[in-house]
Amino acid sequence: MIRTLYTGSSTACFEIQNDSPYHTAEEYSVSLEGREVFRGQTNVFSLFDLTPATEYEARISFPDGDQTVKFETKSESCCVDVHAFGAAGDGVHDDTAAIQTAINLLPENGRLYFPKGTYLTLPLSLRSHMTLEFGKDAVLLGSTEREKYPILPGVVTDCYGKEIPVTGFEGIEQDTYQSLIHGSYVEDVRIVGQGRIDGNAMNGDWWKDFNNFPAKRPRAVFLNRCRNITLHGVTVANSASWHIHPYFSQNVSILDCFITAPKVSPNTDAIDPESCDYVDMIGCRFSVGDDCIAVKSGKFDMAMKYHVPADHYTVRNCLMEFGHGALTLGSELSAGIRNVTVTQCLFRETDRGLRIKSRRGRGKESIITNVIFDNIRMEKVRTPIVINMWYNCVDPDRFTEYVWSREHLPVDERTPHLGFFEFKNMVCTDAEVAACYIDGLPESPIDRVELENISVSFAEDAKPGVPAMQNFAEERCRLGLYLDNVREISVKNVQLSGVEGEHVIADHYETISTEESE
C-alpha cells in the first residue's frame, strides 16, 4: 500500500508501507504516464516537475507486481522565475536584493522558481502563502561575509511595552545572526525541490573561533512561531550551526530531505525543533557533525516564561549517519517533551541511538514522557540507548557539585522528571561501549523503562568510550544493560552478544522484570 504524504503544486511525496526500516527489500521503479521517473529502494520517494492542478496516476513496479496511486496537485496563482527580478545565478554576483524583492512581490499562493544555477545571497526573509522551489542543480549559497549578516535581538519591545520574540539559540532568547532563510510569524509556506540550500560555512569563519563572535551563529533555515510549513525534497548543507530550527512553531513537515555537513563541523545538528507542536520528520537522510535530530524546549528561564513543551513528534523511515546522537532529546528541555514516536529508522555509525540529555536545573516543568522507539535498526552505533540525567555540557555551572553530586538532593522547582520510555523491536549490530545506559537522579528517578524484543551484538574490536557525557564519567566497553534510579524496569526478550560482565546491572529501582533475557 502507498501512502500519500504530501502534494504541492509541482511536487509530491509518498511512503511505501512495510515493516523494513528505511529501505524496501528490493528495488522498484515509479512511472507517470508510461514514463519512468524514479528508481530506488527507499520507503519514501518523491516526484518533481509536476503540473499544478492536475490529476495523476503513478505506477510503482515491484519485482512481485505493480501498485498504483492516484493524486492531484494543488493549484497556484503563478510561477515566477527568480531571474525575472534580476537574479544572476552565477555564484559571483550578490543576488540578495533580487531574491528578496521577488519574495516580497510574489502574489499570494505563488511559486518562486530557482532554475539551475548558484544564487549567492545574504539572509532572506519569508512571507506567508508562498512556495520556494529549487530546481535540480539549483543552489542557494550563503555569503561568507559575516559582517554583512544582520544581528537580530532575541526580543524586541514594541511601542506599547509588549515584548515580541524574535530569535534564540540553545534554549535562550539572545542575539543571533539572521539565518540564511528566516521565517517569522509566517504560515502556509513550502520550500521544495531537488536543489540545495548551502550555508557555505566551510568557506567562511563560521566554524572557527565562534565563541568570540558578537552574536550566536545563524541557521540555514529558522522558523520563529510559524504554522503549516513544509520542507520537501531539498538538500540542506553546511550550515553555520544547526541546519533546520523550527522554533515555537506548529504543523511542520520535513519530508524526503537530505541534511549534510562534515563530521568535524561544530554544532551542525540537522533538525532541532524547539517548543513546537506536531512535527513530522519522514523519509529524511542525515549525515552531520552533531546530533541528527535534537528535540528541545528551552532552558529554565525561557521555559518558565512561555510554558510551551515539545509535543507530538513523529520520526519515521529516516537514515541517520555519523552524528553524535541519532535522535536526541535535550539538553534544553525545561518546558518538557512528550509524545515522541520513532519508527522504521536506520541509524548508522552514530555515537548514540537514542540520546536524552537532562540535568538538575532544567526545572519542574521539564517532564519528558511517552517516548517510543519501535522497529529500529542500528549499525555500528557505539551505545544504542542513553538516558542521562547528569549532562555536563553547555551550561556555565556544568562542573559544579549541584550537577554532579550523587547525593539525594531536595526536590524543588529546578528538579526535572523523566516518565515513560518504551524500546521494542530493535536490532543493533557492532555496538562498542554499552547496549543501554540509563542513569536517573536519586531524588527524581525515571518512572518506567520497557525494553522488549531487542538484540544487541558487540563488535569484536570494540573500543572503550564514555556512554554519557557526565562529570567523572568512566570509560566502558561492551557494557550490557545498565539502569540506575529507575522505578520500574521491564526487560523482555533482550538478547545480548559479546557483553563483558553481567548482562543486566540495575540499582535503586522499585520493581524489575527480566523475562526471557540473556
Query: What average pLDDT is seen over the chain?
Result: 97
* Residue 26: per-residue pLDDT: 95
Which stretches of 268-414 are assigned E, i.e. beta strand? 277-282, 285-287, 293-295, 310-316, 319-321, 325-330, 337-348, 352-357, 367-379, 383-388
Residue 398, classified by CB atoms within 10 Å of its CB into exposed (0-12), middle (13-18) or buried (19+), is middle
Same-domain check for residues 82 and 25:
no
Close Cβ partners of 206 (under 8 Å, ≥ 6 residues apart)? 146, 199, 217, 240, 241
Same-domain check for residues 107 and 237:
yes
Same-domain check for residues 22 and 103:
no
CATH number of residue 340's parent domain: 2.160.20.10
* Residue 251: per-residue pLDDT: 98
**Closest to 318 (Cα-Cα) out of 347, 294, 277:** 347
Note down the domain range covering 284: 77-290
What percentage of residues in the chain have a pLDDT greater than 70?
A: 99
Examine residue 474 and state whether it is found in any structural domain, yes or no: yes
**CA angle at residue 201 from 196 to 203, to 5 degrees?**
105
Query: From CA 513, how far away is CA 489, in angstroms rounded?
Result: 6
Would you report the helix, strand and coil content of the chain in percent, each value rounded to 5?
Answer: 5, 50, 40
Same-domain check for residues 284 and 411:
no
Examine residue 336 and state whether it is found in any structural domain, yes or no: yes
**Hey, CA dihedral for 49, 52, 54, 60, is it positive or negative?**
positive
Same-domain check for residues 113 and 197:
yes
CA atoms within 13 A on the CB side of 203: 10
pLDDT at 516 over 80: no
- How confident is residue 483, by pLDDT bands cut at 50, 70 and 90? very high
Contact 193, 11 (CB under 8 A): yes
Same-domain check for residues 68 and 90:
no
Same-domain check for residues 278 and 325:
no
Same-domain check for residues 195 and 343:
no
68-102: pLDDT as tens digits? 999 999 999 999 999 999 999 999 999 999 999 99
Last residue of a domain, one of 51, 72, 93: 72
Considering 232, 324, 351, 417, which one is annotated as catalytic? 324
436-466: pLDDT as tens digits? 999 999 999 999 999 999 999 999 999 999 9
Examine residue 197 and state whether it is found in any structural domain, yes or no: yes
* Residue 296: per-residue pLDDT: 98
Examine residue 494 and state whether it is found in any structural domain, yes or no: yes
* Residue 148: per-residue pLDDT: 98
pLDDT at 323 over 90: no
- Residue by residue, DSSP assigns 9-48 as SS-EEEEE-SSSSSEEEEEEEEEETTEEEEEEEESEEEE-
What mean pLDDT do residues 152-171 have?
97
What mean pLDDT do residues 20-43 have?
96
Same-domain check for residues 323 and 365:
yes
Examine residue 347 and state whether it is found in any structural domain, yes or no: yes
201-232: pLDDT as tens digits? 999 999 999 999 999 999 999 999 999 999 99
Examine residue 302 and state whether it is found in any structural domain, yes or no: no
* Residue 245: per-residue pLDDT: 98
Query: Is there a catalytic annotation at residue 129?
Result: no
Query: Is there a catalytic annotation at residue 508?
Result: no
Same-domain check for residues 10 and 89:
no
Last residue of a domain, one of 72, 104, 126: 72
What mean pLDDT do residues 415-422 have?
97
pLDDT at 517 over 90: no
pLDDT at 173 over 70: yes
Last residue of a domain, one of 72, 93, 115: 72
Considering 95, 269, 290, 439, which one is annotated as catalytic? 290
Same-domain check for residues 479 and 395:
yes
pLDDT at 395 over 90: no
* Residue 511: per-residue pLDDT: 96
What mean pLDDT do residues 111-116 have?
98
Residue 23 CB neighbour total at 10 angstroms: 18
Q: What is the pTM of this model?
A: 0.97
Examine residue 509 and state whether it is found in any structural domain, yes or no: yes
- How confident is residue 394, by pLDDT bands cut at 50, 70 and 90? confident
- How confident is residue 518, by pLDDT bands cut at 50, 70 and 90? low
CATH number of residue 32's parent domain: 2.60.40.10
Same-domain check for residues 90 and 68:
no
pLDDT at 349 over 80: yes
261-291: pLDDT as tens digits? 999 999 999 999 999 999 999 999 999 999 9
Number of domains in the chain: 3
Examine residue 123 and state whether it is found in any structural domain, yes or no: yes
- How confident is residue 314, by pLDDT bands cut at 50, 70 and 90? very high
